[in-house]
Chains A and B, each alone.
Chain A
Amino acid sequence: MFDHLGNLGSQVRRITTAVQSLLLIITFVLLSFAIAPTKAAFAQTATLNPQQVVEYALTLEKLEADFYLRANNAIQTGRINNAPPIAQAALVSYGQDEQQHVTDLSAVLRSLGGNPDAVTIPASPVYTAILGRDPFANLPDLLLALQYVEDLGAAAYKGQVQNLLAANADTILAGALEIHTVEARHAAGIRFLRQTLLGADIRPWIRSESEVIYNEVRSGLPIPFENEAFDGFATEDEVLKLVGPILAASPQSTGPAAETNTMMGNVTQQDCPAGTTLQFISGGFACMF
């Protein structure tokens, strides 16, 4: 589904075979560094400070808002021509909610001294990475992709509440909680549409880990995540591994915005060995000879 390393591999194969082995090694090393920049220091769960949590959340919200814009556009232009009014109304409403989250999180980030405009997504996010095909071609695929996105969104917020608690960031924690359950409501609404309109074997709640793209069930914590009455969470590095391929700008649209993308860990030319040139490619970046 998220054929992250596979895409990367196919890109890399286009590059001259002489440097292939070395290039691969450098790419993988830097890619893992970008996805989990604090992995070494914080082991399993990266500790983000409140500003980093807001930047991370804002990136996901910008992506969601953009996805809904494209989804609603596909419906309005007739590309998806069989969306019932109940689905159309829901998608417009959820898209407005995500846009509201972008607006308000941007204000929060500014209040923390951050710059919301520096939190960017590519001009053309690679949404085909979600299903391995165009999610805007038909209603079933659109709703399935949205289910994955919304469930992941809720899990991503849940994965940050402990960081905010540890930082005594009560107000930001409150804001995150205010959004967290709305993402869950969206996910439930999408699931209801899939069950009701498409006859999918799905419910508003998560009955099986196979319904989501993150690690819904995990051990080592005294919470029975395997029970459908308890929703799982996703850590930052887990979410970025899933979202990375979507955020990877295609070679044509790579621009300054993508290169400063915080999701790529603010990779710059300085991160590349001498004699190589930083280039963003599908699934990550490479230092090209």
Chain B
Amino acid sequence: MTSPVQPLGKISFSSRRKLLKLGLCGLGALALTAVPQVVTAQTANGSRTLTFNADDVGILNFALLLEELEAAFYAAVVKSGKISNPKELDYLRALGRHEAAHVVFLRQVLGNQVTFQTKDLRFNRQGLNAVLRDRDTILNTAVSLEDTGVHAYNGAGPKLTNPTYLLAAGSIVSVEGRHAAGVRALLGRPVTEPDSDRAVSDAELVDELNPFRGRAYDELYTPKQIVEIVGSLNLINNPIAGALVA
């Protein structure tokens, strides 16, 4: 039995020094030091409020939250034993490894600007069990998460000011797009997203962010729209706040 956290330890970047360099000086265009720690609050149920500022650090922390959510989902999927098809299991394991690698990367990039730890996240057991019900539900939830991830990174792109962050986001988002396409293909669904699959309707799309619309495009969602989608999945109990998602 593979432990769901095991893939994390297997991520092998060619050079840890490279990541260290990244954290220390690789992103010199933006001075990240001396940013005050985000004030955190404990809610009545003990779930820490996650606060995201409307800046590069807030965007990367927000991306980290989505990656944590995806990584936790795939780990739970593998552990559930509900996926028996070898090809499907191979895909889902790979996706879990990738999301875990994104988590490691973003935490390294953010360094002490990380505003929450993995242990601060309170996953909703009931909501998680619901999406782990059976193979179809699992795969369709994976599609929702991956499509949402694509729209989230795309929406964050023009808001980023650091060009290296933008390139890194681009490096990640196309992999999320490949994930979405791969799982869609497993389900016999089109690899691109028909308008009817979109969680955000045409009327709700922000015009300035979306010069193009339709199946041939992955529209840009705002962080607020992403929070609403993630909330509807009922997978996480932490309240989400801050200027980024207002």
Q: Given contacts A154-B174, A166-B163, A231-B174, are A175 and B211 in contact (CB under 8 A)? A: yes
The interface residues of chain A lying within 8 Å CB-to-CB of B174 are 154, 158, 180-181, 183-184, 231
Nearest to B154 among chain A residues (CB) is A177
User: In the bound complex, do residue A174 and residue B166 qualify as a contact, i.e. CB atoms below 8 Å apart?
Assistant: no
Is the pair A224, B98 in contact by a Cβ cutoff of 8 Å?
no
Report the tally of A-B residue pairs with Cβ distances under 8 A. 193
A191 proximity list for chain B (CB < 8 A): 178
Main secondary structure of the interface of A (DSSP, over half): helix
Interface of B is mostly: helix
Nearest chain B CB to A134 CB, angstrom units: 26
Given known contacts A161-B157, A205-B178, is B94 in contact with A177 (CB within 8 Å)? no
A219 to chain B, nearest CB (A): 8
A204 with B181, Cβ < 8 A, contacts A162-B167, A178-B219, A223-B168 known: yes
Contacts of B173 in A (CB 8 A): 177, 180-181, 184
A170 to B177 CA separation, bound complex (whole angstroms): 21
Residue B84 at the chain A interface, CB threshold 8 Å: no
Q: How many residues of B contact A (CB 8 A)?
A: 58
Among B158-178, those with CB < 8 Å from A are 158, 160, 163-164, 166-168, 170-178
Q: Is the CB of A184 within 8 A of B167?
A: no
Interface residue A118 (Cβ < 8 Å from any Cβ of B): no
Q: Is the CB of B167 within 8 A of A161?
A: yes
- Residue from B18, B99, B109, B218 within 8 A of A178 (CB atoms): B218
Q: A108-B211, A173-B158 are in contact. Are A222 and B26 (CB under 8 A)?
A: yes
| Residues on B facing A (Cβ under 8 Å) | 11-14, 18-19, 21-22, 26-27, 91, 94, 97-99, 101-102, 105, 109, 150, 154, 157-158, 160, 163-164, 166-168, 170-182, 185, 190-192, 208-212, 214-220
The 13 listed contacts between A and B (C-beta, < 8 Å) are A97-B192, A100-B216, A178-B210, A180-B218, A181-B173, A182-B192, A184-B181, A188-B178, A219-B18, A222-B19, A225-B171, A229-B175, A231-B175
- 8 shortest interchain CB distances as A-B pairs: A222-B22, A222-B26, A204-B182, A188-B181, A181-B177, A229-B98, A184-B174, A97-B216
